[in-house]
A and B are shown apart, each in its own frame.
Chain A
Amino acid sequence: MIPELCKKMFPKSLWLFHTNCGSCNGCDIEVIDVLTPYYDVERFGMKLVGSPRHADALVVTGGVTRQVAPALRRLYEATPDPKVVIAVGACAVGGNIWFDTYNMLGGADKVIPVNMYIPGCPARPEAIIYGAALALGLVPKKMFAQHEEHLPTGFNLDEYVKEWQDVPVVTRG
């Protein structure tokens, strides 16, 4: 749905505003790498701009720290509609190893709605290009969740899980 919307809303060029919300600079380097002639995301009309008021898309790197969270919120509100938020890296997507620490909120989606998740630590430049191309509807989606089970035949897993849902973890087993 998002690619179709993107095609409608951004028929020409997507201008990016890159914001670091407590990243280690690994993802920032990869985002800059994507703009070099070797990877060249400017083929698709994307370029970095200096102000969120000029931007169509926010590129967020880093699990959002406590201090930067209100600033990120203001940044999102300063970006004119319609806008796309792209979270790059494991920090911005799910918080990485800081997902439950006191000073990190653990992901950009805790503060602002995110439209495109690009996991990876850091995300490869190709992965970022793929995310951008996916947002523009140029490539098919390739990421799917894997659900596997190895159970005896006739075992009703849903009922069994329901029984265990109310049992506190401490008293299990």
Chain B
Amino acid sequence: MFKAKLKEAVLCLSAGRVTLKYPFAPSDVPPKFRGRIMFDAHKCIGCGGCANVCPPRCIVMEDMGEVTRITFYLERCIQCARCHEVCPEDAVWPTEQFETATPDKSDLTSDMTVWMSSCQRCGRCFESDNAIDKFRSKRWRGRGPGEANKHGIFPTKPPIYFEPPKQLVREEEDL
């Protein structure tokens, strides 16, 4: 009886402390963790793929002629990262931030505004100067073989290689 109690005590003592020190020490997230989504307006081409696939419709696109505004209602984001999956330019990606608690709901509504220019023939909008210039820039789907993902979080998509025809390359214009 006493021996059993002693054994139990030793077991309990040897286990040590299991409680996480979390709020006072940083907590690691598992690999491929999907947290709060972030975006880059300079990479976005305004194709609307993310808004199309978003299950809770937390990405809303507003077409305002020459300007497209994309609003992210992060309050109902379910962090499925479908937007990252379909984005051809990696303009939206999940970060590892899970500390998203806030007393103010306006912190949860993000937006980006992208300038579009209109086609001379049909009058519809397309993404301005970068469309061709991005072909030249290294940033455009520019992950060579063996390079790490630029966000370092998600597994890379297979890179697409594209050589632009030289006569299409024009001088850089000021945006």
Contacts and interface: CB of A to CB of B under 8 A. Distances in A.
Nearest to A122: B78
A150 B19 contact: no
A37 B18 contact: yes
A96 interface: yes
A4 B156 CA distance: 44
Contacts of A134: 101-103
B56 interface: yes
A147 B110 contact: yes
A12 to B, nearest CB: 18
Interface in B11-36: 18-20, 22-24, 27, 36
Interface residues of A, number: 58
B169 interface: no
Contacts of B74: 119
Contacts, number: 173
Given A145-B106, A145-B110, A151 B115 contact: yes
A102 interface: no
B140 interface: no
A142 interface: yes
Given A96-B76, A146-B39, A172 B103 contact: no
B16 to A, nearest CB: 12
Interface in B93-107: 97-103, 105-107
Given A37-B18, A90-B56, A129-B22, A117 B112 contact: no
B64 A160 contact: yes
Contact of A90 (B78, B97, B115): B78
B18 A117 contact: no
Contacts of A93: 75-76, 105, 108
B125 A173 contact: yes
A118 B67 CA distance: 32
A39 B27 CA distance: 11
B66 interface: yes
A144 B112 contact: no
Kindly list the 9 A-B residue pairs having the minimum CB-CB distance in the complex, ordered from nearest.
A94-B75, A131-B101, A94-B76, A148-B41, A121-B78, A149-B113, A146-B110, A133-B23, A150-B41
A123 B114 CA distance: 31
A99 interface: yes
Contact of B23 (A38, A117, A138): A138
Interface string A119-131: 1110010111111
